[in-house]
Amino acid sequence: MAENQEEPSDTQTGEEQPENAEESEEKKKELEKLPPFEIVGGERFPAFFFKFQFRNVEYSSGRNKTFLCYVVETQGKESGSFRGYLEDEHAAAHAEDAFFNNILPTCDPNLRYNVTWYVSSSPCVPCADRIAQILQKNKNLRLSILVSRLFMWEEPEMQAALKKLKTSGCKLKIMKPQDFEYIWQNFAEQEEGEAKAFEPWEDIQENFLYYEEKLSEVLH
């Protein structure tokens, strides 16, 4: 299979392109037209988002946002569980950041947390670094991340960040077909309130094996 590449934004690479005054002014006008940054969340998202954003394709053209489904289980005096999803808009922040900023900003030292994420793409370098720091700080937090696709997995910085995640105790895995079915049943909003059976796409197993092999190469 061909190698997967996702083009990083300027903010991810840190590279600045030379601009003349006219181009700079034009860029400023374009930025002013953008709506405010927003993190969208809830319990379920439209099924067509799942079919496009979570598809484990080699080339992720047009998939420029992250969908993160989460399940949080707590054990202790206040045992319980809750779930939902987050999606990010534009490049100002990412869904991974939003989870720790809005959903689980602190961890009660008297509780144990088991958190599972189902994410459309693996974390970028800054998000992976922050996740590792949070896990190292909160020993009562266990995080498993299942991803549909690997983001820029060939880049040395990205490989180092994924290895750091593993070292911090994060369980990073590639989604199997049954994981996609779980998301479909529990997070995708069915049309007209009628639950429909999950229909796997033609290359779902092949692409799972491809990404599983690449992740294994990175982590070992």
For the chain (length 220 residues), average pLDDT per consecutive 10?
Answer: 41 41 45 45 75 80 79 92 84 83 93 96 94 96 96 93 96 97 90 75 94 94
Under 8 Å between Cβ of 35 and 178:
no
User: Which is nearest to 97 in space by CA: 130, 122, 65?
Assistant: 130
- Name the packing angle between helices 177-186 and 204-219 (round to 10°): 110
60-189+197-219, CATH topology level: Cytidine Deaminase; domain 2 (3.40.140)
Largest CA distance in the chain: 61
Block residue for tokens 């590279």: 15
Q: How many CB atoms lie within 10 A of CB 34?
A: 10
Which pLDDT does position 90 carry in this prediction? 52
Model pTM score: 0.78
Q: How many CB atoms lie within 10 A of CB 67?
A: 24
Which pLDDT does position 63 carry in this prediction? 63
Which pLDDT does position 92 carry in this prediction? 64
User: Which is nearest to 123 in space by CA: 142, 98, 104?
Assistant: 98
Q: Which long-range contacts (CB under 8 A, 24 or more apart) does 80-84 make?
A: 83/43, 83/186, 83/187, 84/41, 84/42, 84/43
Which pLDDT does position 193 carry in this prediction? 56
Active site residues: 96
Domain range summary for the chain, segments of one domain joined by +: 60-189+197-219
